[in-house]
Homo-oligomer: A and B are copies of this chain.
């Protein structure tokens, strides 16, 4: 059995270390090939481990300090090396673990991961990616906020990394890629979108590029990977979350209106629960910081054990499906293709 070793920032998240350990316990129950290193305050971690079902002998790496969720990034990085977040990432950097998961401060996790793991060869800008529910299979969207301003080359690389992410998580051979824009016509949007479209649609790059997609196409599942800049992606993700919350809140209110609607709710309960599960943000928990020499997964700070287990599963899938060699190969192929193309143009 191939063992997948994950470093968990045991002190990151609103209910750490409890949900970190409970989430790991649940993940281990389903996937016995997982092994965890809990990084944080041993005195706080041990009682939860001893009460766990599957983690009685898990390793602990002591860290005396932690990054606060509201801490400013430069401050967090300065206090750095004694924090559970820094030391958890270090486990990956030093090759002792295959991936790191943290529910802590997103900005600090990005900064510390970038400092320690460094961008992969050929990557100008690492990006944050996650999966969203759609009418079809899930859709991968990136960047979700790591890069406020992007150029065409950044977007092309996001497409390559997003496609590799989809291959690992959803097991799709050649995921289709779309560029998020304000219309499907070629002349729409920012100049860098048209430049990126030219590169992505170049047949020699062998990418399954499907053209521009609009906001409505994200949840339709029109493509497997939606590529956009970090500003637009962040707004789109949060707008989708907000809209889903609005609709489900109105639905809850509707079912509470009268005795009849309460009975209706009971009758439809199982079906509604299945629907809710499909939209459950906990199931889709686990944003990945793509493009580094190592796998760093961010869990929602306010998630519960089920949500944390989902983030662990994302990290484990990336390791087990060989995401790192896959994306390295794809980037290398694109880079050499690109160099050949440029050489040809200059000749």
**Interfacial residues, chain A to chain B (CB-CB below 8 A):** 133-135, 145, 148-149, 180, 182, 189-190, 214-220, 228, 230-232, 234-251, 253-255, 257-258, 260-261, 263-268, 271-272, 274-275, 278-279
Contacts and interface: CB of A to CB of B under 8 A. Distances in A.
A247 B249 contact: no
Main secondary structure of the interface of A (DSSP, over half): helix
A76 to B, nearest CB: 14
Count of identical protomers in the assembly: 2
A139 B228 CA distance: 25
Contacts of A232: 231-232, 235
A149 B193 CA distance: 13
Contacts of A268: 254-255, 260-261, 264-265, 268
Contacts of A272: 254
Contact of A234 (B149, B215, B228, B254): B215
Contacts of A230: 182
A275 B263 contact: no
Nearest to A149: B190
Most-contacted residue by chain B among A134, A182, A243, A274 (CB, 10 A): A243
Given A190-B149, A234-B182, A264-B268, A241 B254 contact: no
12 contacts: A149-B190, A214-B235, A215-B237, A216-B238, A216-B241, A220-B246, A232-B235, A235-B236, A251-B251, A257-B271, A261-B268, A264-B266
Nearest to A134: B246
Contacts of A251: 251, 275
A116 to B, nearest CB: 24
B216 A242 contact: yes
A254 B248 CA distance: 14
A163 B278 CA distance: 38
A182 to B, nearest CB: 4
Contacts of A220: 242, 246
Given A133-B246, A264-B267, A272-B254, A215 B241 contact: yes
A145 B247 CA distance: 25
A190 B148 contact: yes
A239 B216 contact: yes
B235 A254 contact: no
Contact of A235 (B134, B215, B247): B215
Contacts of A218: 239, 242
